[in-house]
Structure 1
Amino acid sequence: MSPKDGPKAAKIDRVTIRTVASHAGVSVAAVSKVLRNAYGVSDNLRGKVTGSIQELGYRPSRTARGLRGQTFTIGLLLVEIGNPFLPGVIAGVNGVLAPSNYQAMIGVGEARTQLETSLIETMIDYKMDGLILVAPRLPSEVVAAFATQIPIVALGYHDAFAEAFDTVNTDDQRGAEIAVEALLECGYRDIAMLSQDADEGYKVSVVRQREIGYRRAMQRSGIPGEPEIINITIDSPRREEAMRAFLVSESRPRAIFCWSDIDAVTILSLAAELGIRVPEDLAVVGYDNSPTSALSLINLASIDQSGRHLGETATRTLLSRIEGRTAATHILMEPSLVRRASLGLKR
Structure 2
Amino acid sequence: MTTTDIRTRTAPTSDAHDTHTGREARAHRPQLADIAEQTGFSLATVSKVLNGRTDVSEQTRHTINEALRANGYVRRKNSRKPNPTIEIVFESFDTIWALEILRGVIHAAQMEELSVITTESGDRRHPGADWIDGVLRRAPVGVILVFSNLTNKERERLVEYNIPTVILDPSGDPSPENLSIQADNWTGGLIATRHLLSLGHTRIGIITGPMTMMCSRARLDGYSAALAERGLVYDASLVREGDFHTEEGRLQAMSLLADPQARPSAIFVESDLMAMGVYEAARSLGIRIPEDLSVVGFDNIQTAQFMSPPLTTVTQPLEEMGATATRTILDRQHGLQVQPRTILPTTLVVRDSTQRADDADDALPDF
Q: TM-score, normalised by structure 2?
A: 0.67
Out of 223, 227, 235, the residue aligned to residue 214 of structure 1 is 223
Structure 2's unaligned 5+ residue stretches are 1-77, 363-367
Structure 1's unaligned 5+ residue stretches are 1-65
| Alpha-carbon contact 2:210-2:216 (below 8 Å) kept | no
The range that moved more, 114-123 or 127-136, is 114-123
Residue type of the partner of 1:111? D
| Alpha-carbon contact 2:85-2:142 (below 8 Å) kept | yes
Residue type of the partner of 1:213? G
Distance (whole Å) between structure 2 residues aligned to residue 174 and residue 93 of structure 1: 25
Counterpart of 2:301? 290
SS in 1 for 2:82: coil
C-alpha distance after superposition, 1:161-185 (max 9, x if no partner): 6332211111011111010011111
Counterpart of 2:40? none
Residue type of the partner of 1:265? M
SS in 2 for 1:294: helix
Residue type of the partner of 1:105? I
Out of 87, 91, 101, the residue aligned to residue 103 of structure 2 is 91
Distance (whole Å) between structure 1 residues aligned to residue 313 and residue 181 of structure 2: 20
The range that moved more, 276-285 or 160-169, is 160-169
Distance (whole Å) between structure 1 residues aligned to residue 202 and residue 152 of structure 2: 41
Q: 1:275 to 1:295 in 2, by over 3 A?
A: same
Q: 1:229 to 1:313 in 2, by over 3 A?
A: same
Residue type of the partner of 1:252? R
C-alpha distance after superposition, 1:268-310 (max 9, x if no partner): 1221222101112111100000111100524111101221111
| Alpha-carbon contact 2:208-2:242 (below 8 Å) kept | yes
Distance (whole Å) between structure 1 residues aligned to residue 135 and residue 274 of structure 2: 32
What aligned pairs does 1:228-307 form with structure 2 within 5 A after superposition? 228-232=238-242, 240-250=250-260, 251-307=262-318
| Alpha-carbon contact 2:205-2:256 (below 8 Å) kept | no
Q: 1:87 to 1:272 in 2, by over 3 A?
A: same
Residue type of the partner of 2:177? A
Measured after TM superposition, the shift of residue 242 of structure 1 is: 4.0
Which structure carries more helix by proportion? 1
Distance (whole Å) between structure 1 residues aligned to residue 316 and residue 246 of structure 2: 26
- Equivalenced residue count is 277
Distance (whole Å) between structure 1 residues aligned to residue 234 and residue 318 of structure 2: 35
| Alpha-carbon contact 1:133-1:154 (below 8 Å) kept | yes
Measured after TM superposition, the shift of residue 206 of structure 1 is: 1.6
C-alpha distance after superposition, 1:182-216 (max 9, x if no partner): 11111111112101354xx23xx322221222222
Question: Is 1:223 aligned with 2:235?
Answer: no
Counterpart of 1:10? none
Distance (whole Å) between structure 1 residues aligned to residue 332 and residue 188 of structure 2: 28
Out of 90, 94, 106, the residue aligned to residue 78 of structure 1 is 90
Counterpart of 1:171? 184
Out of 131, 135, 151, the residue aligned to residue 164 of structure 2 is 151
Distance (whole Å) between structure 1 residues aligned to residue 309 and residue 142 of structure 2: 38
RMSD of aligned residue pairs (Cα, Å): 2.8
Q: 1:234 to 1:332 in 2, by over 3 A?
A: closer
Q: 1:171 to 1:128 in 2, by over 3 A?
A: same
Counterpart of 2:200? 187
SS in 1 for 2:140: coil
Distance (whole Å) between structure 1 residues aligned to residue 311 and residue 200 of structure 2: 18
Distance (whole Å) between structure 2 residues aligned to residue 143 and residue 298 of structure 1: 46
Distance (whole Å) between structure 2 residues aligned to residue 315 and residue 308 of structure 1: 11
Residue type of the partner of 2:272? D
Q: 1:325 to 1:186 in 2, by over 3 A?
A: same
SS in 1 for 2:314: strand
Residue type of the partner of 1:182? H
The range that moved more, 124-133 or 221-230, is 221-230
Q: TM-score, normalised by structure 1?
A: 0.71
Out of 301, 304, 318, the residue aligned to residue 329 of structure 2 is 318
Counterpart of 1:45? none
Out of 114, 120, 143, the residue aligned to residue 102 of structure 1 is 114
Measured after TM superposition, the shift of residue 229 of structure 1 is: 2.2
Residue type of the partner of 2:217? R
Q: What is the percentage of aligned positions where both structures have the same residue? A: 25
